[in-house]
Structure formats: structure tokens, C-alpha cells
Amino acid sequence: MFCSLKAGDKGKIIDISHVNHLVQRRLLDLGITEGSEVCVKCIMPFGGPVMIESCGQCIALRRKEAVQIEVEKL
């Protein structure tokens, strides 16, 4: 689960299918899908968005969507 990652941790996405399909599509546009390696850069306070890095680009998404992404810690 994504929530087990802390800022600075790296992970590999295993399953993204539980996420809202719009979010899924947008992540796919940005090249983030199953098998992508991500690094958590920053987690905003009070349940705010998370900032992740994948293949040299930074992306922010909401916490509630991020926790639905199945991640394997690296």
C-alpha cells in the first residue's frame, strides 16, 4: 500500500486498477502505470496531496487516490 511509504521511500507500482478511472487515465498519460518505479518526494499535512517522482518528472495527486495504488516497497 502506498500509505506505508514515507517521504524519500521508493516503490514499484503493482496494481493501479482500484483508482478512479479518470485519475488512472491521467497517470497513464504521464507514463505512470503498473511496473513504474516511483519515489515519494513529499506528503502534505492534514491529508493533503502527495508529490511523487517517476522517470524524472514530479507529479502531485491526492492522498485518497494515492492510497488506492498498490505499491511494493523497494
Partner 1 sequence: MEIALIGNPNTGKTSLFNNLTGSYEYVGNWSGVTVEKKVGVFKNNIGKLIDLPGVYTLNPLSKDEGVVTSFFLHDSFDRLLNILDASQLERNLHLTLQLLEFDKPVLIGLNMIDVANKRGIQIDAAKLSEILGVPVAPVVARSGKGCDKLVDIIGTKSMQPARKNLVYYGEEVEEAILALSNEIKGETGHSRRFLAIQYFEGNEYVKKYLHQMASSEKLTAILTNLEVSVQQRYNVKTLANFIYLKRKETIDKMLAEVVSKNGEVVPLTEKIDRIVTNKYLGVPIFLLFMYLMFELTFDWLGTRVSDALDAFFSGPLTSWLEAALTVVHASAFIHALIINGLVAGVGGVLVFVPQIFILFFFISLLEDSGYMARVALVMDRIMESVGLNGKAFIPMIIGFGCNVPGIMAARTIETPRERLLTILLTPLMSCSARLPVYALFVGAFFATHKAIIVLSMYVLGVVVALILAKVFSSTLLKSETSLFVIELPPYRLPQFQSLWRSTWDKGKGFVRKAGTFIFGGSVFIWLLSYAGPAGLNVNMNHSFLAGVGSILAPLLAPLGFGTWQAAASLITGFLAKESIISSMNIIYFAKNDAGLQGLLSHYYTPLAAYSFMVFILLYIPCLATTATIYKETGSKKWTVFAVVYALAIAYCLSFVIYQGGKLFGFV
Q: Please give the residue ranges that form the binding site for partner 1 (CB under 8 A).
A: 17, 20, 22-23, 25-31, 33, 41-49, 51, 55-62, 65
Q: How far apart are CA 55 and CA 25, in angstroms?
A: 17
Name the residue nearer to partner 1 (CB basis): 11 or 24.
Answer: 24
Name the residue nearer to partner 1 (CB basis): 10 or 31.
Answer: 31
Minimum separation from the CB atom of position 41 to partner 1 (A): 7
> Mind giving me the DSSP string for 35-74?
T-EEEEEEE-TTT--EEEEETTEEEEE-HHHHTTSEEEE-
How many other C-beta atoms lie within 10 A of the C-beta of residue 11?
Answer: 21
Minimum separation from the CB atom of position 50 to partner 1 (A): 10
Minimum separation from the CB atom of position 7 to partner 1 (A): 9
